């Protein structure tokens, strides 16, 4: 988790103390990042263990967005890790009120599936998990209006790589606008990719 935090900062997916990570532990509890600590400077002793109600075990205060993570785990037994970050190009789409197309590259279709835009929820409150509640079951990457994105994974690296792919796809979509707009994959290829990988299937 500390290594992934370093990768997030190095890839400019977060800055300052932004973003948060969590992962299921074998005993059913969650390991998560603490409040107010740069993801690039995490130490193992900084990490916090909570139960599925968000109650911490031992020292430390979990991220202010722990409720977002808990909502995902409550709805998705197949999800083993969650990443919340503020990738700049993807967040630009979220601020503009746009979704990110999933038919630009095979990777976007297979790794991301469709990426919906959740309505704005005030950070650190129950409004954030409520904003994504109806989207969690069918998606593995969700834009948060004016608030970055969240990705799900089979493990922490899987969720992190999905965030990287989300940002790369958003950047590609933005760049193609300078060339007159994107040309999507052939419809049959997109349908085959969606069928083989599933929109929300991890």
Catalytic residues: 65
Cα–Cα distance measured from residue 113 to residue 121, given in angstroms and rounded to the nearest whole number = 23
Residues near 150 by Cβ (< 8 Å), separated by ≥ 6? 68, 72, 82, 83, 84, 132, 141, 142, 144
Q: Comparing C-alpha atoms, which of 27, 31, 29 is closest to residue 159?
A: 31
Other CB atoms within a 10 A radius of the CB of residue 41 amount to 12
First-residue to last-residue Cα distance in the chain = 20
User: Rg of the chain over CA atoms, in angstroms?
Assistant: 16
Cα–Cα distance measured from residue 90 to residue 195, given in angstroms and rounded to the nearest whole number = 25
Query: Which element (helix H / strand E) includes 32?
Result: strand 30-32
């Amino acid at each position: 988790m500390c290594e992934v935090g370093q990768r997030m900062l190095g890839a400019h997916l977060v800055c300052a103390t932004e973003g948060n990570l969590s992962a299921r532990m074998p005993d059913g509890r969650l390991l998560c990042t603490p409040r107010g600590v740069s993801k690039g400077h995490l130490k193992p002793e900084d990490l916090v263990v909570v139960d599925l109600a968000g109650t911490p075990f031992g020292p430390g205060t979990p991220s202010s967005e722990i409720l977002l993570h808990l909502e995902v785990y409550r709805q998705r037994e197949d999800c083993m890790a969650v990443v919340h970050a503020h990738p700049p190009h993807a967040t630009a789409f979220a601020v503009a009120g746009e979704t990110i197309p999933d038919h630009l590259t095979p990777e976007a279709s297979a790794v991301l599936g469709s990426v919906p835009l959740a309505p704005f929820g005030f950070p650190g409150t129950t409004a954030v998990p409520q904003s994504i509640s109806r989207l969690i079951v069918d998606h593995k990457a969700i834009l948060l209006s004016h608030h970055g994105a969240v990705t799900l994974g089979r493990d922490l690296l899987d969720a992190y790589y999905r965030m990287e792919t989300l940002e790369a796809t958003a950047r590609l979509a933005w760049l193609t606008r300078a060339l007159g707009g994107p040309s999507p994959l052939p419809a049959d290829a997109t349908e085959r990719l969606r069928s083989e990988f599933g929109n929300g299937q991890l």
